[in-house]
Amino acid sequence: MKRLAILASGSGSNAEKIMEHFQNSEIAEIALVASNKADAFVLERAKKFDVPTFTFSRKEMDAGLLLEKLKEENIDWVILAGFLLKIPIELTKAFPDRMVNIHPALLPKYGGKGMYGSFVHEAVKAAGETETGITIHLVNENYDEGRIVFQASTPLTSEDTPDSIAEKVHALEHKHFPEVIEGLL
């Protein structure tokens, strides 16, 4: 049984879909939900599934506290689901090809530092794109540059707004992220 940790910084809708997906799984369990924000709603979502939670600051993460906790919990895979901090290189090295992230655009477009959430959807709208989507990729030491393992797209029209684009992207995330994670395991 693989032990998974989810790292998230916000609401945690993707984390909830992942916890739901693996709730009665025979191949993996969500062993930990960790956040850099003590008031992140993802921590409440974890309680619904009786998943232990852990909070930490950027300084604590950079000092190795998160890595220590992941080792202590015997974590096999780390899932980034709306986690906004850059992962320290020691952490990526500890989970080579066993750390996965989801990005709300079709990488390599609209990736990199500062490109998350509504910022991505606003950029997609401003560029007049006719499609957008999601990218699920392995994590390395650079923002959004790890090996792509899955992409799904959705068409856009001129009537789409950043909010409607976000809704379309969330639908793709919720549909595909848990299944892709299972496939990687």
98-111 exposure pattern, b = at least 16 Cβ within 10 A, e = fewer: bbbbbbbbbbebbb
- List residues bridging with 33 in a β-sheet: 6, 53
176 carries an active-site annotation: no
101 is in an annotated binding site: yes
Give phi and psi for 23, each to the nearest 5: -55, -45
35 is in an annotated binding site: no
Per DSSP, the chain holds a count of helices (H) and strands (E) of 7, 7
Determine which one of 103, 121, 137, 176 is catalytic: 103
24 is in an annotated binding site: no
- Order of strands across the sheet that contains 2-7: 53-55, 28-35, 2-7, 77-80, 99-103, 131-138, 148-155
14 is in an annotated binding site: yes
Give CA–CA dist 158/129, Å, rounded: 9
57 is in an annotated binding site: no
User: Which residues form the catalytic set?
Assistant: 103
Residues annotated in a binding site for (6R)-10-formyltetrahydrofolate:
58, 101
Residues annotated in a binding site:
12-14, 58, 101
